[in-house]
Amino acid sequence: MTGRCAVWESRPGGARRPPVSCPAVSEFQTSPGMRDVLAPESERWRRFVDVFASVVEPAGYGLVIPPMMEDAAVFTRVGEATDVVSKEMYAFTDLGGRTVALRPEQTASVCRAFVQHRPTTPWKAWYAGPNFRYEKPQRGRYRQFDQVGVEVLGVDDPYLDVEVIALGWRFYEALGLRQVTLLLNSLGEPADRARYVDALRAHFGADRDALTAESRQTLERNPLRVLDSKRDADAALIATAPQLADFLGKEAAVHFDVLRSGLDALGIPFRDEPRLVRGLDYYLRTTFEFAGETLDSAQNALGGGGRYDGLVEALGGPATPGVGFALGLDRTLLACDDEGVFGAPERSVDVFVVDTTGGAEALAITEHVRRSGRSADRAYDGRSMKAQMKAANRSGAAVAVIVGDDELAAGTAVVRPLRGDGEQIVVTRPDLLNHLEAVLS
């Protein structure tokens, strides 16, 4: 299929031919599950990260920027039994023969960085950026998706779990989201968890044929993950599965109680969710998820996290407790759309310069205005007064500065308000900046 589009053919020497027919759909498109983010949506992404920083930095968290690609073993070491690592990871051999992977998440990278650099503990880190998982793309599920998150290494105190969860909650509040539910569970100490996994294996194994083929496969690799199946056919057997609360030892139970009372003290509501297991496999004791009530239930996890006390050790470091979360930017913004909060900002400039004398005046004036700290835009290509005024109105600018032949000869400019009902006036060029400042402030 072909259509008309405004592509001008270039010729040697800079001459151009008028637009030619070209394919209506361009030859190159983003890969499935990957997207371009254009302004003003991209501006919303940046503000999302800024708001997150404004919540976590006052609590003592410092930005960490791990590489997007790591030795694949950093991830396989900590998540071999999970789909995220065993099925969805973009792993490949680089030109130097190393097996590397695009990070599917950042917790393992942050722990690897801790082992490599040994910062003093408690190490409180926050991060933002893209991750990659080869998943089936759909609304709220992408192959490249962004997260913001925190990780704290070196502290065992349940009050830290409270702090971490509270930061996530306060962030959603700062965005204006109201329909978020905090789901809470404890996976116990390693021994509790191991006993529970055995009990699950026995429960599901006894009625194996009642499970879907996918869940039978999951059962082989990781019985806990069967609990996470959203398939209707698995629901009955999951509903009668043993509950982890019955397997918690004293230590994990106390940790969980302190966590819950801390959340109560901060007025953060939560729901106990005894079947909450998460997609990654490194959690012990605290696990939690923030569910977006407006989203489709299969993709309603806005974020989640928990304790992963064995992770640093698994990566070759000293035994070091850790806790953190990651919040998905993409899904959280979908939830914001649903709730009508934290919208994309209106883009506008303070000043739009209209120059019908050839364009050099607009060059000088926009430069002066920008250097004075105000934003300014202009039209190009020597367009007519009418076309330039149209562009000025479209830009959302508060005022237009207009220079025609008469103003050029007189050393003046016309300042015309584009919003409200102020009068246009003629100012001398040396007075222009002062006048603009008075009008704009």
326 scored as a contact of ligand HAM (CB under 6 A): yes
Cis peptide before 32 (omega within 30 of 0): no
Among 79, 168, 223, 304, binds ligand HAM (CB under 6 A): 304
Question: Which residues have a Cβ under 8 Å from the Cβ of 317 and sit 6 or more positions away?
Answer: 111, 114, 115, 118
303 scored as a contact of ligand HAM (CB under 6 A): yes
Beta carbon of residue 184, minimum distance to ligand HAM (angstroms, whole number): 14
DSSP 182: E
> How many residues belong to the site for ligand HAM (CB under 6 A)?
27
Cα–Cα distance measured from residue 388 to residue 404, given in angstroms and rounded to the nearest whole number: 12
State both tokens at 5.
């589009």
Question: Which residues have a Cβ under 8 Å from the Cβ of 184 and sit 6 or more positions away?
Answer: 259, 260, 263, 270, 271, 272, 273, 276, 286, 287, 288
Amino acid at 154: G
| C-alpha torsion 6→10→13→14, nearest 10 | 20
Beta carbon of residue 66, minimum distance to ligand HAM (angstroms, whole number): 12
Among 44, 47, 141, 216, binds ligand HAM (CB under 6 A): 141
Question: Toward ligand HAM, which CB reaches closer, 321 or 328?
Answer: 328
Question: Which residues have a Cβ under 8 Å from the Cβ of 355 and sit 6 or more positions away?
Answer: 361, 362, 365, 378, 379, 388, 402, 403
310 scored as a contact of ligand HAM (CB under 6 A): no
Stretch that binds ligand HAM, among 256-264, 321-329, 376-384, 405-413 (CB under 6 A): 321-329
Among 127, 142, 204, 288, binds ligand HAM (CB under 6 A): 142
Question: Toward ligand HAM, which CB reaches closer, 151 or 361?
Answer: 151
302 scored as a contact of ligand HAM (CB under 6 A): yes
Beta carbon of residue 400, minimum distance to ligand HAM (angstroms, whole number): 43
Beta carbon of residue 337, minimum distance to ligand HAM (angstroms, whole number): 15
143: exposed, middle or buried (Cβ count in 10 Å: 0-12, 13-18, 19+)? buried
Tell which residue, 291, 44, 305, has the closest CA to residue 175.
44
222 scored as a contact of ligand HAM (CB under 6 A): no
Beta strands in 85-200 (DSSP E): 91-93, 99-102, 123-132, 144-153, 180-186
279 scored as a contact of ligand HAM (CB under 6 A): yes
151 scored as a contact of ligand HAM (CB under 6 A): yes
Beta carbon of residue 49, minimum distance to ligand HAM (angstroms, whole number): 14
Question: Toward ligand HAM, which CB reaches closer, 274 or 279?
Answer: 279
331 scored as a contact of ligand HAM (CB under 6 A): yes
Question: Toward ligand HAM, which CB reaches closer, 262 or 305?
Answer: 305
Cα–Cα distance measured from residue 93 to residue 84, given in angstroms and rounded to the nearest whole number: 19
167 scored as a contact of ligand HAM (CB under 6 A): no
Cα–Cα distance measured from residue 432 to residue 413, given in angstroms and rounded to the nearest whole number: 8
Footprint on this chain of ligand HAM (rule: CB under 6 A): 105, 107, 133, 135, 140-142, 145, 147, 149, 151, 278-280, 301-306, 308, 324-326, 328, 330-331
